[in-house]
Amino acid sequence: MHIKGVEMKSVQELMNEHEGIQLMLFILQNVAKKIVAGENVPREEMEGIMEFLTVFVDKCHHGKEEDFLFPALEAAGIARDGGPIGVMLQEHERGRHHIADMKKALGDFTASGIEVAGFQKAVEEYVSLLNQHIFKENNVLFPMAEKVLSADDDKRLFENFEKLEVERIGLGKHEEFHALMDTLADKYR
């Protein structure tokens, strides 16, 4: 069982990723404001943000939860259907739809190609969903995980998280995403 006062590395990694995701959500909101105001946002920045949401948030972060954390919690007796895991999975799916809506509204990333109202709506819904989702995970699901998972479970999860990151996004990509966040945060904060 979890020893009080000792952080689980796997949970801490996911919480650290939540901080980066929330920073990118803040950046996304500010970028959306510029687009709504008719200001130009460089194509490569929009592509970088969309790649971050698709690759880092969904394939990497949600992949760690869906492929490893949630099954470990189920094995430890946490209900999937009608329980917190089922809710998290539904929210991951809703997030994927919002990302698809953003990409569709962005069109070819040119000022004339962006469907501004659709983009703004998708951004607002996605940011709201993810902020609530992160709150639930940080304050309900992760403390639950720390109660039911063992140190061996944590070690195995952390190792699987590291392996998934290399396989799904590749070596060095995590650092590239952090550099992108730093650059965009300086510009859009």
State the average pLDDT over residues 1-17. 76
Task: Report the distance separating Cα 69 and Cα 149, nearest Å.
Answer: 10
| pLDDT digit string, tens, across residues 139-185 | 999 999 999 999 999 999 999 999 999 998 888 898 999 999 999 99
Residue 122's pLDDT is 97
Residue 107's pLDDT is 85
| pLDDT digit string, tens, across residues 85-124 | 999 999 999 999 999 999 999 986 665 678 899 999 999 9
Residue 114's pLDDT is 82
Domains in the chain with CATH codes: 9-34+42-188 (1.20.120.520)
3-state secondary structure of 175: helix
Say how many C-beta atoms besides its own lie within 10 A of residue 105's C-beta: 19
What is the reported pTM?
0.92
Residue 71's pLDDT is 97
Residue 6's pLDDT is 52
The answer, yes or no, to whether residue 23 has pLDDT greater than 60, is: yes
The answer, yes or no, to whether residue 4 has pLDDT greater than 60, is: no
Residue 112's pLDDT is 63
Residue 105's pLDDT is 93
